[in-house]
A and B are shown apart, each in its own frame.
Chain A
């Protein structure tokens, strides 16, 4: 495989469930990201892992918990989500400081 791979592609979960989103990059990059894409809103940067250390958390609620075990893998752990958390969650990677971000195909999350 090449590029950035996200699983699952679709996820439906209840508000009391716990689930995890997975992202893997095969590009040898040194930074990985989680973005949230909601309708009619700009992409929201949620988390940045640069050299495996979380460097930015844009006031994301604690019901979202990221994990970056190594420079190729990134997880987003979800628990007790709200319906307004339904969105497309995009993972990306880049080689900081000077290359663009490469995106996965996203996980379409629906909270019921």
Chain B
């Protein structure tokens, strides 16, 4: 079985500052890793994913995450945030070939201030 820990429930940051949202996972098998974003009154949208290959994955809006197997982490980073990045961010894990068993973290609320 897998589990996910998001250590920070809230992350306040000023606009144009860098941000890191932390995610650690545990699993006895190889994993797929995902970051989802949820805007107010919306469902979850996939931000980026790691399935295999390069350990650094990027989204179209400037976020990136790096799969670190030795540290069992998949932290999300952005070098310069915008007001529009204010949202809830969820890290999720599944076993390889078991994407019907997706386990989510508790979420991190990113609040960007002007």
Interface residues of A (CB under 8 A from B): 4, 6, 31, 33, 40-43, 45, 48, 50, 55-56, 90, 92, 94, 96-106, 108
* Residues B33-53 near A (CB distance < 8 A): 34, 36, 41-46, 49, 51
Q: A102-B46, A103-B45, A104-B43 are in contact. Are A48 and B100 (CB under 8 A)?
A: yes
The 6 closest A-B pairs by CB, nearest first: A103-B43, A43-B104, A97-B97, A103-B44, A105-B43, A96-B100
Within 8 Å by CB of B106, from A41, A101, A103, lies A41
Q: A43-B90, A98-B97 are in contact. Are A90 and B43 (CB under 8 A)?
A: yes
Interface residues of B (CB under 8 A from A): 4, 32, 34, 36, 41-46, 49, 51, 90, 97-102, 104-107
A-B interface contact total, Cβ < 8 Å: 60
A106 & B42 in contact (Cβ 8 Å cutoff): yes
A31 to B90, CA, bound (A): 21
A6 to B107, CA, bound (A): 22
Residues of chain B lying within 8 A (CB to CB) of residue A100: 32, 34, 46, 49, 99, 102
Residues of chain A lying within 8 A (CB to CB) of residue B43: 4, 6, 90, 92, 103-106
